A and B are shown apart, each in its own frame.
Chain A
Amino acid sequence: MKPAPALAEGFPDLSGMRIAREPHWFRWLSAALIVLVLAAIARAFAAGQIEWSYVSRFLTAKVILEGIVNTMVMAVLAMALGIVLGIVVAIMRLSPNPVLKSVAAGYTWLFRGTPLILQLLLWFNLALVFPTIGIPGVWTARAVDVMTPFLAALLGLGINQGAYTSEVMRAGMLSVDIGQYEAAHAIGMGRLRALRRIILPQAMRVVIPPLGNEFIGMVKATSLASVIQYPEVLHSAENIYYANSRVIELLIVAGLWYLLVVSILTPLQMLLERRFARGTMQFAR
């Protein structure tokens, strides 16, 4: 039996030595600079023409609280409408039927192609076009009575959102492997059942991050409904500063509320993502 070959000389034993910690001078320097700049900005605002007592007083004023509740109610309802429309339109867009396809493409083109504030104003002023609405002989009503600021905001925001959400949903459905459609068909599922049971649950995993984005956008887009007299938080803030002229203070109040709401939404999105990640996380075999 041959002896094991000896290891070559000239390669010292490094076991037991540790890698030295790097000093990271630049990180410390840049962090210090940023703290300085932030301190300067804070000082400027503290010394500026802002009555902070008004901010703290109006932060929890009844009108403001009602406003933020209205903002959230509108954001949730309009987003729900947008998601429902988005799923339906995405399914139509991917359907083999050319009529459904064109209708879906036309909807997306129209509502993505015009400004949201213009759409809100159109819905709110629908009475100028159609003084009465309804089904002749069954039910009719004056459009001004039906098209309240709430309904106009809901339709304007929701239908606009649907146009954007449909593209997010379509991307999610396209991200699912073609083999999943085939496997679903092979066990006798039709197109709609395959979409509902197999494709959409898998697409959800992909679409939740962009939908979270869209929802945060929606929370802020509700502020546009202030132009059609929907009493959301910015509208409430405006009404107060028309009376007391504390413009900046009230805008800061509204801004803080938006920041708070958006901060709460981020962890909620993570919970949802985990729910739809079932089966995709790798475990030890």
Chain B
Amino acid sequence: MTKPLVAIRSVSKNFGEFQALKTVSLDVWPGEVMCLIGASGSGKTTLLRCINQLTAIDSGGIWLDGELLGVREQGGRLYRLTEREIGRQRLKTGMVFQRFNLFPHKTALENITEGPLQVQGRKSDEVRTEALELLRRVGLAAKAASYPAQLSGGQQQRVAIARALAMKPMLMLFDEPTSALDPELVGEVLAVMKELARSGMTMMVVTHELGFAREVADRVVYMDQGAIVEQGRASDVLAAPREERTKAFLSAVI
């Protein structure tokens, strides 16, 4: 029997008085494409950020590839991992941000090679070859020497996807990857993500693009007020939601 790549168990997170996540539990299976939908403030982005440890959870546990994230259990107590160990765990996930967050002082190629060279300490000619191949894969082979400011939003986001893939992650996390884009640029980013999904990558995508979810997602998870309200096959959840809150959300969005 296969094991889930990500196992989330009773995870809670508060920001002051605000409960961002209320004892959320979820499994993500290898090769699965999962879309997380819901209104802003529903906790879907927080959940993604907890998996990448950009946000520390208050209670519960997240296992990635069988390894407990952020803490170590010993004698019935939890001990926080060192920054170095957390950095090593982060290498298993690739993160794509809503606002791209490319490094503006580095070219597209340098953005992609930075992690493999500086963090993984790999050989430069091999990294460079792979980075050029990744740029070709996202359709930007001609833009290797361009700085982010010289690229359109859609091109920047595709470079950001290539940058995340360069670390050879087991899991790709997308935090509203098309929300900051002009409408005519959304398609090119979604096309890259579809290709990635077809290649067998495990993906968690926070998105408002229900068309993408319908077409690509194996599973759709609807979240509201920090909890998972409904989940299932994309065709079921999007076409025939069972919960009232899901119905209300979908009718408001479409």
A180 at the binding interface (Cβ < 8 Å): yes
Give the residue of A185, A190, A198, A283 whose beta carbon is less than 8 angstroms from that of B103: A198
Report A197 CB to chain B, min CB distance, Å. 6
Residues of B near A285 (CB, < 8 A) are: 150-152
A113 within 8 A of B: no
Q: For the complex, count residues of B whose C-beta is within 8 A of A.
A: 35
A179, A190, A198: which contacts B97 (Cβ < 8 A)? A179
Q: What is the total number of residues of chain A having a CB less than 8 Å from a CB of chain B? A: 27
From B29-37, B112-120, B201-209, the one touching the partner chain is B112-120
For A184, the chain B residues whose CB sits under 8 A away are 103
Contact A283 B149 (CB under 8 A): yes
B194 at the interface (CB under 8 A from A): no
- Whether B115 and A188, one on each chain, are in contact in the complex, defined by CB atoms closer than 8 angstroms, is yes
Within 8 A of A (CB), among B130-150: 147-150
Contacts of A51 in B (CB 8 A): none
Residue numbers in A under 8 Å from B104 (CB-CB): 202, 279-280
Q: Which residues of A contact B91 (CB under 8 A)?
A: 187-188
- From known contacts A186-B54, A187-B119, infer whether A279 and B95 are also in contact, taking CB-CB under 8 Å: no
Task: Write the residues of chain B forming the contact surface with A, with a CB cutoff of 8 angstroms.
Answer: 52-54, 83-84, 87-88, 90-91, 93-95, 97, 99, 101-107, 114-115, 118-120, 147-152, 163-164, 167
16 further A-B contacts with Cβ under 8 Å, apart from A186-B94, A187-B119, A285-B151, are A179-B99, A182-B97, A185-B53, A185-B90, A186-B93, A187-B167, A188-B88, A189-B115, A189-B118, A189-B119, A191-B83, A202-B103, A278-B147, A280-B147, A281-B149, A283-B150
Closest CB pairs A-B (n = 9): A187-B115, A279-B147, A183-B101, A179-B101, A186-B95, A188-B119, A188-B91, A188-B87, A279-B104
Task: Name A's B-contacting residues (CB within 8 A).
Answer: 177, 179-180, 182-191, 193, 197-198, 201-202, 205, 276, 278-283, 285
